């Protein structure tokens, strides 16, 4: 799929994958071996990984919620098992990429979600983070990018929010 998006809300899953790929590619650039190719949920071909990063980088306005960025920390702790100095290097490369992308992290307040009748209904089903991502995409009238087909994409579609799964953005290699 070769769609161009001017603006997109990015879920924590694709953001995490991008940060891990960026970390691994930067390590490779220093002559160090890849650490996480087997842990990310994407085809393990270098061409696909670079295309994935380039695809996200090509979106001029990238948004996410503060709740999604908190999930990045939890994903890092749960999946990467990094210790110093790799932990510091991982966070430096992550902050560098998010800064380069000029990601716009926005706060979507729980009480604002709960005051919206439609969103209040999905809060118990999918949680604050996913409900906030749907609301942010609806507020900005833009696409929501996720790999969570089972809950987030399903709820976004149900609320007429444009949504794309990562696998729909790039061809399978």
Q: Domain with 15 in it: what CATH number?
A: 3.40.50.1010
Residue 66 has pLDDT above 90, yes or no: yes
Q: Is residue 158 part of a domain?
A: yes
Is residue 2, in this structure, part of any structural domain at all? no
Q: What is the pTM of this model?
A: 0.86
β-sheet bridge partners, residue 144: 9, 163
In a domain, 88, yes or no: yes
Query: What is the domain range of residue 79?
Result: 7-34+45-169
Interval 21-62: pLDDT, tens: 888 888 777 777 666 654 444 445 677 778 888 999 999 999
1 located within any domain: no
Closest CA to 100 of 60, 42, 144, 46: 60
Q: Report the alpha-carbon distance of residue 128 to residue 125 in Å, rounded.
A: 9
- pLDDT given for residue 43 in this prediction: 44
Does residue 39 sit within a domain?
no
Distant-in-sequence, close-in-space partners of 145: CB < 8 Å, separation ≥ 6 = 8, 9, 10, 11, 14, 56, 163, 164, 165, 166, 169
The three-class DSSP label of residue 69 is helix
Q: Tens of pLDDT along 79-97?
A: 777 778 877 888 888 999 9
Q: DSSP letter for 135, please.
A: H
Count the domains in the chain.
1
Find out whether 69 and 12 touch, Cβ atoms under 8 Å: yes
């Amino acid at each position: 799929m070769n769609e161009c998006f001017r603006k997109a809300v990015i879920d924590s899953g694709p953001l995490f994958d991008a940060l891990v790929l960026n970390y691994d590619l930067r390590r490779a650039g220093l002559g160090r071996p890849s650490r996480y190719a087997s842990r990310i949920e994407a085809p393990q071909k270098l061409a696909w990984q670079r295309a994935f990063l380039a695809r996200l980088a090509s979106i001029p306005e990238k948004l996410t919620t503060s709740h999604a960025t908190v999930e990045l920390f939890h994903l890092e702790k749960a999946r990467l098992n990094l210790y110093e100095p790799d932990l510091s290097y991982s966070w430096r490369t992550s902050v560098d990429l998010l800064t380069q992308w000029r990601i716009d992290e926005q706060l979507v307040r729980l009480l604002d979600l709960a005051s919206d009748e439609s969103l209040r209904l999905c809060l118990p089903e999918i949680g604050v983070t996913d409900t906030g991502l749907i609301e942010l995409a609806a507020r900005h009238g833009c696409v929501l990018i996720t790999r969570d087909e089972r809950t987030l994409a399903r709820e976004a579609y149900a609320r007429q929010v444009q949504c794309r799964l990562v696998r729909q953005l790039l061809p399978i290699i």
